[in-house]
């Protein structure tokens, strides 16, 4: 029996870590309508790094740390969550520009 892995992954996920509530979704256009109680929205899809505060939420897109795409830098992020606070660090992966 073959199981499609994508069917095992929820469309969106809400999780609280040490007092910080994250809502995660692949494409931010497909976020749940109700983001009440969320502190951070984590999304992807565009492969472009985003770290901004808007509408009382921290919006994060780690970018893409795989092969370079769309002439964008290769990025990921590291987050430290402690005591209801989050500190985010952008990590740029060195690469040759072609």
Quickly state the pLDDT bin for 4 (edges 50, 70, 90): confident
- Please compute, for residue 88, the number of CA atoms within 13 A of its CA located in the half-sphere on the CB side: 18
Average of per-residue pLDDT across 72-98: 88
pLDDT in tens, 20-35: 999 999 999 999 999 9
**Beta carbons of 18 and 81 less than 8 angstroms apart:** yes
Q: Which residue's entry shows tokens 């990025």?
A: 75
Q: Would you state the structure tokens that stand for residue 56, as one six-digit string?
A: 């009382």
Prediction pTM value: 0.82
**Beta carbons of 23 and 38 less than 8 angstroms apart:** yes
Q: Is 56 left (phi over 0), alpha (psi -120 to 50) or beta?
A: left
Domains observed in the chain: 10-93 (3.60.21.10)
Quickly state the pLDDT bin for 89 (edges 50, 70, 90): very high
Whole-angstrom Cα distance, residue 59 to residue 86?
A: 12
């Amino acid at each position: 029996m073959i199981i499609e892995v994508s069917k095992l992954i929820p469309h969106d996920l809400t999780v609280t870590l040490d007092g910080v509530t994250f809502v995660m979704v692949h494409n931010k256009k497909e976020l749940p309508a109700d983001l009440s109680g969320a502190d951070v929205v984590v999304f992807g899809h565009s492969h472009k790094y985003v770290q901004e505060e808007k509408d009382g939420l921290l919006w994060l897109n780690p970018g893409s740390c795989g092969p370079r795409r769309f002439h964008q830098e290769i990025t990921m992020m590291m987050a430290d969550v402690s005591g209801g606070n989050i500190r985010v660090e952008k990590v740029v992966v060195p690469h040759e520009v072609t």
